[in-house]
Amino acid sequence: MATLHYAAGGSTADVAAAGFNLVDVQYVSQVDALPDGMKALVYLNAHDGATSSFIDQVTPFLNNPKVFGFYLCDEPDPTGRWHPLTTAANLKAESDWIHSNFPGAKTFISMMNMGSNADPSFANTYNPANTGIDYYGMGAYVIHSDTGSTPDYSMIDRLVAAAVAAGIPADRIVPEFQAFGGGNWASESGSAFAVPTAEQAKAVFDHWANLVPSPAFDYTYAWGSQNGDTALENSPELQAIFREHNTSSTSSTPPTTTEPTPPATSEPTPPISEPTPPTSEATPPTSGATPPTPGATPPTSTDPSHVDHIIHGGKGNDTYHVNNAHDKIMEGSTGGFDKVLASVSYALSAGSHVEQLSTSSKGGKAAIDLTGNEFGQTMIGNNGDNKLNGGGGSDLLKGYGGHDAFVFNTALGPNNIDRIADFNVSRDKIYLDHAVFAGLQGGALAASSFHAGQSAHDANDHIIYNSTTGSLSFDSDGIGGHPQTQFASLTPHLHLGENSFLVV
């Protein structure tokens, strides 16, 4: 049975109260503040090899006795189809550098199932032989709304068998437990995930224990609610279930492990068959915290400076941590897949080709507002009250928890249609700029101005929600001669009404 227990996201105090003793951290200050008996798993989000920025990121943590190891990245993709292309050679370079410079520190990744739930596969991906990584997380989220009292626990058997067949020994596998349900996540079959009952959670624990009896640690996903779901942070019942499990096996002494198998030199080859894509629109459910990886020359994660910076990225995949709203990130159109992770409200500079703008911690609760530019981006909030404004371009907006506002204040057109991935009717709002949505009166949207259907049914209908497709459109003259213009896409079949809108 595992003696270390990790929860994705959550503060040290919160997770400790639920019996977790391996903490999701980003900064040295968080590590130093850990109480006795707790260890740190440092999230790096790194997949480009032992670059100078990687070394700068890891160096402040070297030989800190409170560090158990490093979470290199979440669900690296050997195909580049869903996430940035990640080679085994790059992961090996990172893991080897850590092992050489921090003896005893462990390296970890969580794996992406390249097959299906019925026939999982990790072939031609990553294993100890081609990466030297110590541990590999495996997620089998088997509690669904359509399974009732008979979840498919055998999915765990299939997952472990596929991992072993791909060269990952059972003692290198880290079980990932489901601690969420509801919300907008969808399973492979299209059904909703369900919050585990105490009986179901125990069955999952027992099933994993039979297959992987002594893992280095276990991984619970997730502490923070991320997509309108119920998770550990907002469910005392779930916390009690995991507290009982965690405290029955907790020890302050991390387990010892054997050295990794000497690596092979060959690169993984692409999967022969087409993998089944993740079930969410953009990326599958991931860890609640996505911390920064320094890019070209930004301040490091331990730099408390609030001096303004103008930062020019190179051609690689850069990730910038921003703690000053006046910093300017400049990226060209050939600059790779670039991310900005902000711990303050932040607006992208015009002309900068940044692909993702996100809060620095999805599990955080700070009210951080994010504003895009004329290009399309993925924009990700946190568990606080966020205001997300995609600007121009077609953006993917994810508010996560909290009471979020999605702002539309740029000229409408076919190349400026934003997708709101997780709109929550009970707490989120859509802000409509009165200058763009001409004719709407300021304040709460009038009931007569909203219509759910394919098109307007009278002259007063200006905001049209097609509940079948999820499209959200503006019709300037209702049933007059002007066609409606789509400006957003939401989840279909929401109970959307005029109360979800505010004209500003």
Can you read off the two tokens belonging to residue 124? 């031609």
Contact assessment for residue 312 and residue 335, using Cβ atoms and an 8 Å cutoff: no
Euclidean distance between CA atoms 225 and 460, whole angstroms: 38
Tens-digit pLDDT profile for residues 328-346? 887 777 667 888 999 999 9
Q: Is residue 252 part of a domain?
A: no
Instruction: Say if residue 25 is exposed, middle or buried (CB neighbours under 10 Å; 0-12, 13-18, 19+).
Output: buried
Euclidean distance between CA atoms 314 and 408, whole angstroms: 31
Q: Say yes or no: 189 and 333 in one domain.
A: no
Q: Say yes or no: 489 and 388 in one domain.
A: yes
Contact assessment for residue 179 and residue 417, using Cβ atoms and an 8 Å cutoff: no
Mean pLDDT across the chain, nearest whole number?
A: 84
- Band (pLDDT 50/70/90 cuts) for residue 457 is confident
**pLDDT of 284:** 38
| Three-state DSSP state, 180 | strand
Euclidean distance between CA atoms 116 and 112, whole angstroms: 10
- Band (pLDDT 50/70/90 cuts) for residue 316 is low
The stretch 14-41 carries a mean pLDDT of 94
The CATH code of the domain that includes 154 is 3.20.20.80
Euclidean distance between CA atoms 133 and 129, whole angstroms: 8
> In the listed set 203, 226, 247, which residue is the last one of a domain according to the structure?
247
Q: Is residue 265 part of a domain?
A: no
Q: Say yes or no: 231 and 336 in one domain.
A: no
Q: Is residue 290 part of a domain?
A: no
Euclidean distance between CA atoms 225 and 142, whole angstroms: 18
Residue identified by tokens 């294993």 is 127
Q: Is residue 268 part of a domain?
A: no
**pLDDT of 294:** 34
- Band (pLDDT 50/70/90 cuts) for residue 264 is very low
Q: Give phi and psi for 59, each to the nearest 5.
A: -50, -40
Residue identified by tokens 């850069």 is 318
Whether the full predicted model's pTM is greater than 0.85, yes or no, is no
Q: Say yes or no: 347 and 465 in one domain.
A: yes
Cα dihedral 493, 499, 500, 504 sign: positive
Tens-digit pLDDT profile for residues 31-78? 999 999 999 999 998 999 999 989 999 999 999 999 999 999 999 999
Euclidean distance between CA atoms 23 and 5, whole angstroms: 8
**Chain Cα centroid distance, residue 347:** 21
Q: Which domain holds residue 121?
A: 5-247
Q: Is residue 219 part of a domain?
A: yes
pLDDT value at 276 more than 50: no
Contact assessment for residue 433 and residue 258, using Cβ atoms and an 8 Å cutoff: no
pLDDT value at 377 more than 60: yes
Can you read off the two tokens belonging to residue 469? 């497709």
- Which run of H or of E encompasses 12? helix 12-17
Count: domains in the chain: 2
Euclidean distance between CA atoms 370 and 359, whole angstroms: 8
CB atoms within 10 A of CB 453: 12
**pLDDT of 270:** 38
Contact assessment for residue 188 and residue 276, using Cβ atoms and an 8 Å cutoff: yes
Nearest CA to 215 out of 240, 249, 241 is that of 249
